[in-house]
Structure 1
Amino acid sequence: MHKLLPALLLAAAAALPVHAALPVADSQGEPLPTLAPMLEQTVPAVVNIFTRTRVPVQQNPLLADPFFRRFFDAPQQPRERIAQSLGSGVVMDAAKGYVVTNHHVINGADEISVHLADGRTLQAELVGSDPETDVAVVKVAAEKLSALQLADSDQLRVGDFVVAIGNPFGLGQTVTSGIVSAVGRSGLGIEGYEDFIQTDASINPGNSGGALVNLRGELVGINTAILSQSGGNVGIGFAIPINMAKEIMAQLVEHGEVRRGVLGAQAQDLTPELAQAFDLNAQRGAVVTQVTAGSPADKAGLKSGDIITHLNGRPVRDATDVRNVIGLLRIGQNVEMQVMRNGKPRTLNAMVEQPRATTVNGDKLHPRFAGAIIGDIVEGMPFYGKIEGVVVLEAEPGSPAWRSGLRKGDVIVQANRQDVADLASLRKVVRPNSPLLLNVQRREGALFILLQ
C-alpha cells in the first residue's frame, strides 16, 4: 500500500496546472477592474522625504570638567546628536522642482533629502513653511519630474473613492484605498486652520505629506494626520484639501511665508437656537459678535448681529469657515460677504488689511523677560477670539525668559493675579524690580511661572 503513495503524489502533481495565475477577465470576458493604470501615472509624482536634524545633547556638568574627565579617564561627550525622520511629498511643479509636504515633516531639519520613484535621491532646499496649516514647500533641482493634476477639492463628496500614496514606516512607496468619510472636519486641535478631508484609506506614520488622489489620478488632498490611540491606522485619517494647500503654496513660493490679512470681525456658529432668535430659516452660517472699530469689516458696514452666509460666493457653514476663508486671503484682496440683517439679505465688500500687531522686547517690561518678544493676540492667530492675554512670540533658548520657563507660543492670561487682556494692561501690572507671578496657558494646559 505504501509503495503506491509516491506514484499517487506524482500523479496529483502532474494534474496541477503549471502556469496558474489570477484571472484578468470575468466569466463574460470583461476585464476586471484595477487601479494599476491610474497608479502608473500618479505614483512617480509622490516622493519620499528624509530629514536630518542636529540636536544639542544636554551636557553632564561633571563630564564637562576637563580635570574630572582626565582623572577618571572619561570620554569626551558629544555635543550634538543626529535625529532622523521620514515623510512623503508631492511634486506640484515639475518644471521648477517644487514639492509640497507637511510642515511637521521638515520642521527644524538641517538637511532634507528627496527620494524619487525612479531611484534618484536629491538634496532639497526649504522654500517656506506655514505651521498654521502644516504646509511646506521644498525645491529640488532635477529634470524629468512628474507632477499631479489638481482636482477641485470643494467638489469632493462623502462616499467618493480615494487612494492614499506615501511612505509609511519608511517602507517605500505604498498605496492604500478607501472613501471620503467626511469633509470640512475642524475643531480637532491639530492645526491652526482646519478644513480636513477625512478618509478611511490607511494612513500611517511616514504618510505625512503624501498624496490623496481620486480615481482619475487627480490630487485632492495632502495626507497629514491620523486619529489613533496606538499611533497606527484605525481608519480615521485626515488630509488638507488641495484648494487650501495650493493657496498656501503660492504664498510660500512668492514670500517664503504666509502673509495673512485681517478682516477685523469675530463670529460664532449659527445654532438652531440663535437662528430661531434671529427669526431665520437658515440653519448654517456665522453670527458676527464683534467688529473692530476702523477695521476693514467696519469700513464695509458689517455690524454685530449680522449673519454671514457666503464669502466670495462660497457657502459659510460656521465660524471656522469664516476664519479659513479670511486666513487664505492675501493682504489687499477683496472679500464679498453675503449677510442677513434683520431678515433681509445684504452684500458687503471689504479689503483685508495687514494686521496691526503690537509687540515689545521683553527686557523693556521686566529684566526676566529678556530674550522674549511679547505681543498682542491679533486676528490670524489660532487663539484669536478664544482667549484674552498676550502671547510669547519668541523665547531665545538660554535667555533669562527661557530660564524662567517661558516658551514660544505661551499665552500670559494673568500677571500678579490680575487679568491681562493686552500689552497695555500687562504694562500696568509689571514693576521692573519686583517679582512677577504669571498665569500661562500652554497648549491644552496651564501653569504658573514666577519671575524674580
Structure 2
Amino acid sequence: MSKAYALAMPRLTPRIDPRMWGLALLGALALLAQTVMAEARGAPESFADLAERVSPAVVNITTTTVVEVSTNPFPMVPEGSPFEDFFNDFMNRNGQSEQGRPRRSQALGSGFVISEDGYIVTNNHVIDGADEIEIEFFEDFTLPAKLVGTDPNTDIALLKVESDKPLKFVTFGDSDNARVGDWVMAMGNPLGQGFSVSAGIVSQRGRALSGAYDDFIQTDAAINRGNSGGPLFDMDGNVIGVNTAILSPNGGSIGIGFSMASNVVSKVVDQLREYGETRRGWLGVRIQDVTEDVAEAMGLEEARGALVTDVPDGPAKDGGVQSGDVILSFDGVEVEDTRELVRTVGEAEVGKAVRVVVFRDGGTQTLMVTLGRREEAESTAFPDADTQSPATPETIKMLGLTLQPLNDELREQLGAPTGTEGLAVMDVAEDSEAFEKGLRAGDVITEAGQQKVASVSDLKARVEDARDGGRKTVLLLVRSAGEPRFIALGVE
C-alpha cells in the first residue's frame, strides 16, 4: 500500500495546479481501492501448481469383497425337485453355470498418504467389509493395503502399505482457520474416473449430519460418488477435510458436499496409528440443551451449557456432578450446547483430571472429574434413579396434567423400579403447553424446581416457590420409559 501511494504522489512544486493535485490523489485512491478489492477476492489464476504438487499423495482405492451366493439359482425350485435337473441344464446351455459360486464384488473410493512410510487415510465406509484393499498411486503403480483401524463414529479409516521407496505425502492443516468463502480444492476418484480435481469455496463450517462428533466443512466443490475418503485442500496444500458425504436428490453433485474437519480427523488418526482403535474421554452424564424457558426457570442469565438429566455410577458422579447441574465449562472450554460438550469430552485424554464448572442453586461451582474411556462405558446401561418411599394416593389436575403419586400398582404398570417416588402422568390436555412439549400419559415427574417430588403437595409448593421468586416457569424432571429429560412449564 505504501508503494502504491508513493508512486501516485506528485512532486510538490509551485508550478502544479492544486486541481491537478486533487485529481492525482483521487486516481491514487481509486487504484488503491481496486488493489484491495482484488486482494479481498483472492481468486487464484489457476489451481494447476497446487494440483501438480499434491497429486502424488492422492490415491484411488479399490476394495474387493467375496459375496456368498445361494447354491440354488431358482429358490422357487426346492432342492431334490424333479424340475431341478431341468433348470440346471437350462443354466448350463446359457453359460450361467457359475451360479452358486462365491462372487467377487468391487467398490471404488479415494484416500491420501500422510507419511512417507505408507499410512493412508480414507473413509470407513469405503473399506467396510472389504476382503482385499488395493491402492493405486498417481505415479501409476499399485500396492496392497492392510487395515490399521477404523472409527465408524467419524467415518474414518487408517490403512498401511509397504513400499520399497519413500512415498509422497501431504499434511493436515488447521481446519479451525478455514473461513466461509475461502477457496478449497477437492481431489479423488469420482465415479471411477480417477485423480480428478474440483474447486470451490467453504460454504459453511460446523455442519452436523448424524454423528455425535460431527464437524463437517460444507463446500460447493464438486464431490461425487467415489470421492469418499479423498482430501479437501486449502490453498497452501494442507488437508483441512476428508470428503465424506453429499446432499443430493439424484446421487450426483449439486454443490452441497461435506468434508470431516481435519482437526477431528487428525486426532482420530493419531489414536488409530498408536492403538489401532479410538480412546475417547467419558464424563458419564446424560444431558440436554438449555432452552430459553429452562434457563428462565433455573435463573440462568442466558440459555447455554448442557443440562445434566442423569448421573449414573461413573466419573461425573465420583467428581460430584449432580442431576440438575448445568455444565458451563469443561477443561477450560466454554460449553455452548450438548453437541459441543460431547465433542470436547470425546477429544479429551482418558484418565485426565479436568475442571468442570457447573451452575447449581443459583451459583457456579468448580468440580474436578477424572475422565473414563467412552468405548469401555458404551455397553453399560444407565440405571434409573433410585428413591425411597411410596406416596400417598391422591389425584389432581394442574399445569394441563392429571397427576397421581406413584404406588406399587402404578410402578408395576409403568415399569418403574421398586421404591421410585414421583407423580405419574395419568392424562395430558391436548391444548396444553405440557402436551406441546411432549409430556404424555405414562410419564413420571420425579423433580420440580430441582427438588424431589413425592406428592401433589410437593409439586404445588415448587410451583408457588417459582411464582414467589418472580419466575414464569417451573422446571420438571420427567422420565419417559426410564429416559430422563427436563421440561419447563409456565406457572402463570
Query: Where on the TM-score scale, by shorter chain, does this alignment land: which range?
Result: 0.5 to 0.7
Q: 1:178 aligns with which of 188, 200, 203?
A: 200
Match of 1:168? 190
Quick check: 1:81 aligned with 2:103? yes
Superposition pairs of residues 253-272 of structure 1, within 5 angstroms: 253-272=273-292
Are the aligned partners of 1:200 and 1:237 in contact in 2 as well (CA < 8 Å)?
yes
Cα shift at 1:358: 9.0
Are the aligned partners of 1:287 and 1:306 in contact in 2 as well (CA < 8 Å)?
yes
Match of 1:40? 52
Amino acid at match of 1:222: V
Quick check: 1:110 aligned with 2:131? yes
More displaced 10-residue stretch of structure 1: 238-247 or 104-113: 238-247
3-state SS in 1 of match to 2:114: strand
Quick check: 1:50 aligned with 2:71? no
Task: Give the TM-score normalised by the residue count of structure 2.
Answer: 0.62
Cα shift at 1:304: 2.6
Q: 2:176 aligns with which of 138, 154, 157?
A: 154
Task: Give the TM-score normalised by the residue count of structure 1.
Answer: 0.67
Deviations 1:253-275 (A, max 9, x none): 22222234421111112223333
3-state SS in 1 of match to 2:59: strand
Match of 2:489? none
Cα shift at 1:378: 6.5
Deviations 1:254-297 (A, max 9, x none): 222223442111111222333333333444322222222x4111
For residues 222 and 420 of structure 1, do their structure 2 counterparts lie closer, same or farther at Cα, with a shift above 3 Å needed? farther
Structure 2 unpaired stretches of 5+: 1-42, 384-412, 418-492
Quick check: 1:129 aligned with 2:141? no
Cα shift at 1:244: 1.2
Match of 1:276? 296
Number of aligned residue pairs: 336
Q: 1:302 aligns with which of 311, 321, 325?
A: 321
Are the aligned partners of 2:136 and 2:142 in contact in 1 as well (CA < 8 Å)?
yes
Match of 2:439? none
For residues 78 and 329 of structure 1, do their structure 2 counterparts lie closer, same or farther at Cα, with a shift above 3 Å needed? farther
Superposition pairs of residues 12-411 of structure 1, within 5 angstroms: 33-60=45-72, 62=77, 65=80, 70=85, 73=89, 74-75=91-92, 76=97, 77-94=99-116, 96-142=117-163, 143-186=165-208, 188-189=209-210, 191=211, 193-292=213-312, 294-342=313-361, 344-354=363-373, 377=381
Are the aligned partners of 1:296 and 1:352 in contact in 2 as well (CA < 8 Å)?
yes
Q: Where do 4+ consecutive residues of structure 1 move more than 6 Å?
A: 356-359, 418-422
Structure 2 CA distance, aligned partners of 1:197 and 1:299?
A: 37
Structure with bigger gyration radius: 2
Deviations 1:363-406 (A, max 9, x none): xxxxxxxxxxxx65579xxxxxxxxxxxxxxxxxxxxxxxxxxx
Structure 2 CA distance, aligned partners of 1:66 and 1:421?
A: 56
Are the aligned partners of 2:268 and 2:278 in contact in 1 as well (CA < 8 Å)?
yes
For residues 303 and 125 of structure 1, do their structure 2 counterparts lie closer, same or farther at Cα, with a shift above 3 Å needed? same
For residues 358 and 316 of structure 1, do their structure 2 counterparts lie closer, same or farther at Cα, with a shift above 3 Å needed? closer
Are the aligned partners of 1:163 and 1:175 in contact in 2 as well (CA < 8 Å)?
yes
Percentage identity across aligned positions?
44
Deviations 1:62-81 (A, max 9, x none): 48659865565354533221
Match of 1:386? none
Cα shift at 1:316: 2.7
Structure 1 CA distance, aligned partners of 2:121 and 2:342?
A: 23
Deviations 1:17-59 (A, max 9, x none): xxxxxxxxxxxxxx97222222222222211111111111133
Structure 1 unpaired stretches of 5+: 1-30, 360-374, 380-417, 423-452
For residues 39 and 313 of structure 1, do their structure 2 counterparts lie closer, same or farther at Cα, with a shift above 3 Å needed? farther
What's the C-alpha RMSD, in Å, of the aligned pairs? Answer: 3.1
Amino acid at match of 1:33: E
Cα shift at 1:83: 1.1
Cα shift at 1:107: 0.3
